[in-house]
Amino acid sequence: MATTIFHPCNAALPLPMHLLRPRTGSHGQKMEGISCPSWRLAVETNNLRDWKTIPVLCEGYISNYMLVKLYRQYSKAVTNQAILYAKSLNLVGDGKEVWVFDVDETVLSNVPYFSQHGFGPELFHSVAFNAWVTSKAPMLPESHKLYMTLHFFSENQNSIFLTGRSESQREVTGANLRKAGYIKWEKLILKGEEDVGKPVVVYKSEKRRELEKEGYKIVGNIGDQWSDIRGSGIGNRTFKLPDPMYYLS
């Protein structure tokens, strides 16, 4: 069974995404006395931490959540607030005022991959995922609208992509970003050899501090993981997109 999600721009781009082993009636399933919607809320509010995979009983619920309406609606609610904030800023216009964007599940969506292979952070290290990142991930339309607003409503706000992908994936990541509609950026920061093994929050804090030392002012910071927007150098304001598919500390 498949569902199609349409790009909200004038030229609709169908994105076929296949449901992950959907179960009928999964919305009301219980797990140790906790419903699947309650589990997702605990995840999204960062009250449930360091989990590795979606509970088996909730796979169907999360699949439906990601592929039908709620995920896109909640993403839109976040980015609408980010757009209002971006438009309200009175910027110096020196080219040093930047937004920091995470990449996976922020500007690019791996939902088609996960819907076919399952969920869990270990899948990031699989041969299949390494093949997937060769320019295949579509844009997350809501985040693309924010990106376009920054570059065409207020030309003084530049974008920096800060990702946990490795330096060896720079070429394919850049190509994927351009193919998905992110046509320019100030910097694309990826993990080097010296960053391997660092928790996400440590790695991204260090990179943001380096940006500040270079004279950049982070006016906005958006990501799908709490580790994207915690730590030091987080910027003037942070925005957390929904992502109940996996957890990165």
Domains of the chain: 28-240 (3.40.50.1000)
235/136: higher pLDDT: 235
Handedness of CA 214, 220, 222, 228 (dihedral sign): positive
Residues 27-77: pLDDT tens digits?
444 555 579 999 999 999 999 999 988 988 898 899 899 988 899 999 999
Q: What is the DSSP string of 213-231?
A: HTT-EEEEEEESSGGGS-S
The answer to whether the beta carbons of residues 151 and 85 sit under 8 Å apart is no
Can you count the helices (H) and strands (E) in the chain? 8, 9
Q: For the whole model, what pTM was predicted?
A: 0.86
Chain center to CA of 15: 17
**Cα dist. 27→23, 30, 38, 81, 103 in Å?**
9, 9, 11, 28, 29
Taking residues 124-134, report their average pLDDT.
Answer: 79
> What confidence score (pLDDT) does residue 196 get?
93
Low-confidence winner among 32-46, 58-72, 113-127, 129-143 (lowest mean pLDDT): 113-127
Q: pLDDT at residue 133 above 90?
A: no
Task: Give residues with Cβ within 8 angstroms of 139, minimum separation 6.
Answer: 7, 107, 108, 109, 180, 181, 182
Q: pLDDT at residue 127 above 90?
A: no
> What confidence score (pLDDT) does residue 15 get?
45
Could you tell me whether strands 14-18 and 2-6 are parallel, antiparallel, or unpaired per DSSP bridges? antiparallel
Q: Which two tokens stand for residue 186?
A: 């100030």
* Residue 127: strand, helix, or coil: helix
- Exposure of 170 by Cβ count < 10 A (0-12 exposed, 13-18 middle, 19+ buried)? middle
The answer to whether the beta carbons of residues 1 and 22 sit under 8 Å apart is yes
Residues 146-198: pLDDT tens digits?
999 998 776 778 999 999 999 999 999 999 999 999 999 999 999 999 999 99
Rounded Cα gap, residues 132 and 109, in angstroms: 11
Rounded Cα gap, residues 127 and 66, in angstroms: 24
For tokens 């976040």, what's the residue?
A: 78
> What confidence score (pLDDT) does residue 9 get?
37
